[in-house]
Amino acid sequence: MTRGKFITFEGGEGSGKSTQVALLAERLRAAGLGIVVTREPGGTPLGEGIRSLVLDAAPEPTTELLLFAAARAEHVAKVIRPALDHGTWVVCDRFMDSTRVYQGLLGGAPGDLIGALEIRTIAPTYPDLTLVLDLPAEAGLKRTEARGALSRFDAESTDYHKRLQDGFLAIARAEPARCAVIDADRSAEDVAADIWSTVKSRLLGGVR
Ligand code: TYD
């Protein structure tokens, strides 16, 4: 059986990830593929429990890193890897790059610890394609403010959001074979069309 493909979405707050995850899943289903749509933190009952712990409380940075890693270990072992092995495609809203950027770049967690946790929790189930939604920090903040209910991460300064965005773009530059940067400062339809042509050319051999 052909292994499914693993697609992750990354980007700053208000970049429209959730909308685009849903639109891509719809298109993949319409193309006849089996799809699992999931998110991090979360994706398993234990992971969803960790999600509410981490997002509501503000744990000490090392605690936070380990909780995200624990949720990811469950998610990869129980949901993502089995689905891919069965030929199902997996579309995940945030994954390892969020840890690198939020806990690493912005939270100061050491890169060697993050790297070791990645190997332990993910290898060899790395994303086949990571779509980095690129939206200027100011525009993203406007969107999250308009949406109301700010998360603990949303409520940070513009400078924080700019560093966040730069962090994701730096990862995309460093790993161009895995990552594609998508200009998210456009209508949802235009962004979705760009994502679909990227997925077709990178993962579907340009067909369909
Ligand atoms: P969520 O409400 O899903 O935010 P968004 O809509 O922006 O994706 O909350 C997820 C938050 O968790 C988000 O602010 C980023 C943060 N996060 C980390 O800090 N590290 C991680 O590894 C992951 C997966 C998420």
CATH classification at residue 134 = 3.40.50.300
**173: containing domain:** 6-204
Check pocket membership of 97 for ligand 1, CB cut-off 6 A: no
Instruction: Tell me if 31 is assigned to some domain.
Output: yes
CA distance 109 to 104: 4
Nearest CA to ligand 1 atom 5: 13
Q: What is the pLDDT along the chain (208 residues), one digit of tens a residue?
A: 799 999 999 998 888 999 999 999 999 999 999 999 999 999 999 999 999 999 988 899 999 999 999 999 999 999 999 999 999 999 999 999 999 999 999 999 999 999 999 999 999 999 999 999 999 888 887 888 787 766 766 667 888 889 999 999 999 999 999 999 999 999 999 999 999 999 999 999 865 5
Instruction: Tell me if 15 is assigned to some domain.
Output: yes
Return the closest-CA partner of residue 191 out of 119, 122, 143, 124. 143
Instruction: Tell me if 1 is assigned to some domain.
Output: no
CB atoms within 10 A of CB 12: 31
Check pocket membership of 11 for ligand 1, CB cut-off 6 A: no
Instruction: Tell me if 32 is assigned to some domain.
Output: yes
How many domains would you assign to the chain? 1
Instruction: Tell me if 37 is assigned to some domain.
Output: yes
Q: For residue 165, with 0-12 CB atoms within 10 Å meaning exposed, 13-18 middle and 19 or more buried, which class applies?
A: buried
Q: Quick one: tokens of 94?
A: 């945030």
Nearest CA to ligand 1 atom 22: 99
207 C-alpha to ligand 1 centroid (Å): 33
Q: In sequence order, what are the residues at sequence separation of 6 or more whose Cβ sits closer than 8 angstroms to the Cβ of residue 156?
A: none
84 C-alpha to ligand 1 centroid (Å): 23
Give the dihedral sign, CA 44/48/49/50.
positive
Instruction: Tell me if 102 is assigned to some domain.
Output: yes
**Which helix (DSSP H) or strand (DSSP E) does residue 89 occupy?**
strand 89-93
